[in-house]
Chain A
């Protein structure tokens, strides 16, 4: 198990390094210069050259890459051209906001998705299953940004039940300093988290329904029933528990997916997270921020996948490995 884990960790680091290198090269090759600004801003070639030198943009690609890797090894992510501050500071402010949004969305996703999946499986091929199946199919096929815009329009602008943008009331609650402000934060979180969560839940429900139905036909379920176990016990202890094994893989991959899916939602709801930071940085050709965002996203994807494998190995004895061989 230890050797397997070490190999997986080493492979994960290599993948992240490769992604970061590719991003560095591709961003350099992409058209657009970071110091040029919008086309309608008067061009001052001298000022542009000074800023390029000050931000270390005037060397060859190789020289800049070596310098970047050296700085990265020291934990220095560089300085943002657009934000005029260290990238690490900008990330440190944005990451918790995205984690809050993604965490809340994941909660909604799994809570609703699991419940619906189990409910549908228990009533498979009957009217509630058919109706819910179509509803989840509809939600699953809806683009996240579209659902976000609809919720924003209906519940934000028309009914005014929820705030339309931001993560807190800037006047009453610039920070979470009281119960009132905690409620305010949750109130602001509601629409973006529900948007992300609903779309995720639709997929999760379909996945969970299929897993439950697959498990329902297994011998051990029949055995449990033959032994006289109650239906509740059969479903919760035997059917759901085994169906959850494949769910762990989904969990491992869902989190990074939510982080990337949050890009558009953060823009629509003006949520100050990683997605918005990365989008702005790409449009501004703010290379250090883009590189750092990719580094973070790829690390999360790889770590999520690794975590899912480890959890699966822990949860399912059949998948446990010892000394590189399946037991």
Chain B
């Protein structure tokens, strides 16, 4: 028996040693990313999942991309990618010159026709792209010649260049033209894409991995890390465990302080905090639960909302939930936005004033049960919380206690995301815990969620203040960054004073990567955007970097 056991152990040991040696040098690294979730499809206009966009970042290029400053106004901070240069031909016409060296990975050149085709696909209602609305102010894209693409806009505004380049990745027209648009949602191309980016698609093992390999002929420079593998896990805890156990090299967001501490304690990992794109809040439905034609019996009153906001010690809650890895937002603002300014005027934490305001509006504890009431109706409401969000569930419990201290009762309804979505869209809630993940500019995120134009779409709270809408319009149309900043400040202070929600957190993102990886630069809006410039120096290679297949 012992002999047999020894044989098995010896066989395993020999087998374990069989894969040593292999690649050496500057272009050998392998990066294993522990991803939460799995892409739906790798066809940029049809993509819904965040992890798809990270992978597409390596496969499909944009004409140009936003810089590390994430400045979206004008074009001075943008970096050339497929377009080697561009110029304005009048106030409404933007001309891009495609880099003649750019090639699809099947050898075909990337042309202006590909650009025009891509715009047509992104804006085709049959493709149902989530980016379609973002391109609405571009009237046409045409190929003037194989190297020149011409964008025409419907109007002049400060973020014309951003709209032209940020939302749309250029697609290979010669491979996709024959696919009927109503079949793009499940097109085989989306599971075996051919791109023009720094990495080539190698394999997709459903539920397990997607593997990309560096394109050594990439026209903007050979990526230093030879192979990138996304390893899919069902949740953030499993992903962090993989990372800590040294079975993955990196993760872009650790999300909770627990995960951050686990990663910090792992000797092989380095931590990279960067500006987060998310802000979270408790939103009040301003119309009756399930009936948008009537005002909400509690939250329709501005003073009641202000009182509840003043009842919450947001700084203390933040510390308790996030530790040092988040900030209290001055309104519906993420740290990613350039308008972020903690000095903006906000409602203070003042429970005495909160109680006075509630009493002044007739909410008194007439039956001495600890809950205020008015006309027989208690100051009680339900909050909708996604059961999958640990952060928001924790916040809901803490808020419950803070409200209780001023005589308000909040009951928590924890439901899955699908139910939250459906009830939010239908207005079937009193209050809701939301966390918006924003793109780099407030001009898309704020109108969608907080203006009248967003009602029936993402303005679930039905917040409607014409003065606020006018300020947002003025900010979006401002010719200079300073004019825009002034208008945005006024808009944010207006919405904060109206208190349609209690703005609770704007988290920092914290990434962790193996400390053999150098030159790690993370662009806050898309952590993987600069992956092609990261390196693993030859003297730091480990076994998995050297493996040849």
Contacts and interface: CB of A to CB of B under 8 A. Distances in A.
B470 to A, nearest CB: 22
Contact of B186 (A48, A84, A273): A84
A14 interface: no
Interface residues of B, number: 71
B191 A39 contact: no
A94 B12 CA distance: 28
Contacts of B233: 165, 270
A276 interface: yes
B323 interface: no
Contacts of A317: none
Contact of A283 (B18, B246, B418): B418
Given A47-B128, A93-B206, A38 B234 contact: no
Contacts, number: 177
Interface in A1-59: 31-34, 36-48, 50-51, 54-55
Contact of B424 (A39, A86, A174): A39
B456 A45 contact: yes
Contact of B419 (A32, A269, A273, A277): A32
Contacts of B245: 156-157, 160, 163-164
B15 A32 contact: no
Nearest to B424: A39
B238 A33 contact: no
A261 interface: no
Nearest to B205: A174
Contact of A43 (B386, B416, B458): B458
B421 A163 contact: no
Contact of B128 (A51, A86, A163, A270): A51
Contacts of B456: 45
Nearest to B243: A164
Nearest to A84: B41
Interface in B231-279: 231-235, 238, 241-242, 244-247
Contacts of A172: 19, 544, 547
A236 interface: no
Nearest to A184: B15
A166 interface: yes
A164 B241 contact: yes
A166 B185 CA distance: 28
Interface stretch (B89-97, B433-441, B512-520): B433-441
Interface residues of A, number: 61
Interface string B179-205: 000100110001100000000000101
Interface string B396-430: 00000000000000000001111111111100000
A39 B544 contact: no
A186 B434 CA distance: 43
A164 B128 contact: no
A40 B392 CA distance: 13
A111 B166 CA distance: 59
Nearest to A284: B418
Given A39-B460, A170-B209, A84 B30 contact: no
Interface of A: 31-34, 36-48, 50-51, 54-55, 79, 82-86, 90, 93-94, 97, 152, 156-157, 160, 163-168, 170-172, 174, 179-180, 183, 267-270, 272-273, 276-277, 279-280, 283-285
11 contacts: A39-B417, A40-B436, A44-B130, A47-B129, A152-B241, A166-B208, A172-B547, A174-B549, A270-B242, A272-B207, A279-B234
Interface of B: 11-12, 15-16, 18-19, 30, 32, 40-41, 46, 48, 125-126, 128-130, 132-133, 182, 185-186, 190-191, 203, 205-209, 211, 227, 229, 231-235, 238, 241-242, 244-247, 386, 388, 415-425, 432, 434-437, 448, 456-458, 460, 544, 547, 549
